[in-house]
Structure 1
Amino acid sequence: MDSCPVSEAIISGTTKRGNDAPRPSMADVARLASVSLGTVSNTLNNPDKVSDSTRRRVLGAIAELGFVRNDAARSLAAGTSTTVGIVLADLGNSLFVDIARGAETALRRRGMNLLIADSAIDIDRQMNYLQTFEQARVAGIILAPLDSAIIEEPTRLTSTTPVVLVNYESRRHVYSDVVTDERRGGYLAARHLLDLGRRRIAFVGGPLFLTAVERRYEGARAAVDEVEGATLEFIETLGVNIKHGKQAGRQLAAASRPQLDGVVAASDLIAIGLIQVFEETPGFSVPRDIAVVGYDNNHFASESSIPVSTVSQPGEEMGGVAAGLLLDEIWGRAKSEKQTVVLPPTVIPRKSTLGDAWRRD
């Protein structure tokens, strides 16, 4: 492979490799993901032949090691425009893995390569990856950003490289973007509980300044307001991870009996944390006493001890649409005005709301 100092920093897991450090190989990826070389190759070239769980494991290993395909690295070294970078907020959330898969499929169909970077919920790391991709002269960048006003300042992202946002709406229409209807998702989650006869509902999530959390809460509020006698309590958390769900769960469990019969969680991780606490608390049986709906359809939501009902976002479709919008900009076919594409979410009912009426496929 041609020498390319810039490309050596692409998709670094935690630190940049020195010039003398060996570049990670497909064999390294296979070892870390505990799969065969053939499985790594299929993930990159024939993804339909690989199961979802295996594909996520391989993509996670690629991001952690900083593996760069030979053809992608060569195009960067030559300064050609056949490579697109994608910067994801958190590869620990399978939504972003699905977004990467959808983008990669759409780009490869058009003869383009995709390099993946994980900002790991770190704004400085996100900005460093954007700068690195621009210095590497990628053709364009797909960004699934952290919720930050920086995104509305074009000069803070890149100076010349086309950018399309995914899972974030540009409020000032600085960029084209692809999002799901978060209000609709919150509405569907609460409506699912209401249709099951639940009337004392809580929305658990936060911080509320996060756009997605705010809109999901607004949707849940609208659904509850439609049903006479139904109530909605808001329990704000400091984040959307399992530990935040556990903290909220302990707060609710401090009551001698449930004051609620349903919970809309702002994320699957919060839902899992809540359920873990409820399982250990007498009188809080899920879903007999209290039903729980999560959000995101993380792959482990269906694999927890009590499979979690959830609102699913079409991650692969989001990635594919974002790639199409970006290619239109790269190839000069974009409309003069920036576009926002809004995709619909769906509810996936599981045991955390349906109980024994739900059966695993």
Structure 2
Amino acid sequence: MSDVARHAGVALGTVSNTMNNPDKVSEATRRKVQAAIAELGFIRNDAARSLATGTSSTIGIVLADLSNSFFVDIARGADATARQHGMNLIIANSDVDLAKQSMNISLFEESRVAGVLLAPLDTAYVRGSATLLRSTPLVLVNFAAESGHYAGVVADEEHGGYEAAQHLIGLGRTRLAFLGGPLLLTAVAQRLEGARAAVAANPGVTLEHIETRGLNIPHGRHAGQDILARGAGTFDGLVAASDLLAVGAIQILDGKPGFDVPTDLAVVGYDNNHFASESAIPVSTISQHGEEMGRVAAQLLMNEIQGGPTTIKQTVVIKPDLIPRRSSLGDAWRRD
């Protein structure tokens, strides 16, 4: 900054005001300083500024898995809200790795960001811990802490599971299967409970749970092989706990005699993963409104940054919605 001040022929404080309080500097002076900054290639050191002032204009977000577009949507919503508050967002991907998640959280705290958004892996430690961060404000996304020590935003997973099953029941499907697991994952267990509630409210409809070891396409293919081995007609509707599971099952089943999707077997996924609408058979799905979740979570974090540790720790619940497509509606569905 001293070099910039000398090059522009102004005081050091004028350079500081140009970057931090531009309204205090005349336009002519501001242009002179900005020209010097550009000519010298000066880049401000926000980390050093944070140490000096005790404040930061950056927040971090740690996401469980960026290969899932749901988390990309969360980041997009969080970024929009952060920018409205004059803040920058840095994204870290845990890549479904607990050690990497812990490292990312620690890295943000060591960097003295103003706050952290965390869309975590579902573990008992995260559910019960009150010390995920020592002093940096933290808000959870797509997760609720049992300890009550953190604010958060979650989707109403039971409602989503209910809507998925009720959609199939409304289409006249009566022999349903729920694909998903492991049930140690809170969201999967809640989606299953929602589907069971819909079935319980409709006499004559049955539901069987086919537990999977995960929520990705290979797990869906394995479940599809299980359904194929049981024979045509065993089920006429599938609720999958993720779009990836739905796509994997459809890859195995569709085209086999008695397993045409959706004539013989209507399918609903979950997450509104971006590729779900672009697959060979566009997948009906439950949308969790990832961008809205990101926006709300970022606003909760801004409230904590501005209000301090006494800010009320609330958990906001957002209801997901059904997006019907060809995998359940067949030719009745038309792409926009």
Work out whether residues 178 and 209 of structure 2, in 8 Å CA contact, stay in contact via their aligned partners in 1: yes
Task: Structure 1: state its 5+ residue gaps.
Answer: 2-69
1:83 matched to 2:83 = no
Q: CA deviation at 1:87?
A: 0.2
Match of 1:320 among 292, 295, 305: 295
Given candidates 206, 222, 243, the residue that maps to 2:197 is 222
Q: Which residue of 2 aligns with 1:154?
A: 130
User: Structure 2 CA distance, aligned partners of 1:235 and 1:350?
Assistant: 23
C-alpha distance in 2 between matches for 1:261 and 1:174: 44
Structure 2: distance between partners of 1:258 and 1:300: 28
Q: Does 1:102 align with 2:73?
A: no
State the partner residue of 1:180.
155
Q: Which residue of 1 aligns with 2:243?
A: 268
Check whether the contact 2:153–2:316 (CA below 8 A) recurs between aligned residues: yes
The one-letter code sitting in structure 2 at the alignment partner of 1:154 is: A
Distance 1:200 1:335 in 2: 51
For 1:351 and 1:335, the matched residues in 2 are separated by: 49
Distance between the aligned counterparts of 2:273 and 2:148, measured in 1?
29
- Structure 1 residue 276: Cα displacement: 0.2
After TM superposition, give the deviation of residue 335 of structure 1 in Å.
Answer: 5.9
Amino acid at match of 1:153: S
Q: How does 1:338-349 map to 2 (within 5 A)?
A: 338-349=313-324
Is contact 1:202–1:235 with CA below 8 Å preserved after alignment? yes
2:227 match: 252
**Superposed CA offset, 1:173-197 (max 9, x none):** 1200001100000000000000000
Partner of 1:111: 86
Q: Which of 175, 178, 183 does residue 203 from structure 1 map onto? A: 178
- Give the Cα–Cα distance (whole angstroms) in 2 for the partners of residues 349 and 186 of structure 1: 14
| Paired residue type of 2:335 | R
Aligned-residue offset at 1:282: 2.0
Question: In the alignment, what sits opposite 1:74?
Answer: 45
Provide Cα deviations, 1:269-315, integer angstroms capped at 9, x if missing partner. 00000000012422100000000000000000000000000000111
Aligned length: 291
Q: Which residue of 1 aligns with 2:212?
A: 237
Q: Deviations over 1:45-87 (max 9, x none)?
A: xxxxxxxxxxxxxxxxxxxxxxxxx98x832342241100000
Segments of structure 2 that go 5 or more residues without pairing to the other structure are 2-41
How far residue 171 of structure 1 moved from its aligned partner, in angstroms, is 1.6
Give the Cα separation in 2 of the matches to 1:159 and 1:334. Answer: 12
Aligned to 1:166: 141
Quick one: which amino acid aligns to residue 267 of structure 1?
S
Q: Is the 8 A contact 1:325 1:334 kept in 2?
A: no
* Residue type at the aligned position of 1:125: K
1:290 is matched by which residue type in structure 2?
L
- Cα offset, 1:337, TM superposition: 3.5
Q: Give the equivalent residue in structure 2 for 1:20.
A: none
Q: How far is the alpha carbon of 1:338 from its aligned partner?
A: 1.3
- TM-score, normalised to structure 2, is 0.84
Contact 1:296–1:312 (CA<8 Å) still a contact in 2?
Answer: yes
> Structure 1 residue 121 and structure 2 residue 96: aligned?
yes
Indicate the structure (1 or 2) with the bigger Cα radius of gyration: 2
Which stretch shifts more, 276-285 or 346-355?
276-285
| Structure 2 contact 304–311 (Cα < 8 Å) conserved | no
Other-structure match for 1:301: 276
SS at match of 2:45: helix
Quick one: percent identity of the two aligned structures? 59
When the two structures are superposed, what TM-score results if normalisation uses the length of structure 1? 0.78
Q: Secondary structure at the match of 1:99?
A: helix
Distance 1:112 1:336 in 2: 20
Quick one: which of 187, 191, 194 aligns to 1:212? Answer: 187
Classify the secondary structure of the residue corresponding to 2:230. Answer: coil
- Give the structure 1 partner of residue 29 of structure 2: none
Quick check: 2:130–2:147 contact (8 Å CA) kept in 1?
A: no
8 Å CA contact 1:87, 1:145 repeated in 2: yes
Q: Give 2:266's aligned residue.
A: 291
SS of the residue 2:250 aligns to: helix
1:127-146 matches, within 5 Å, as 127-146=102-121
Per-residue CA distance 1:210-240 (angstroms, 9 max, x = gap): 0000000000000000111000000000000
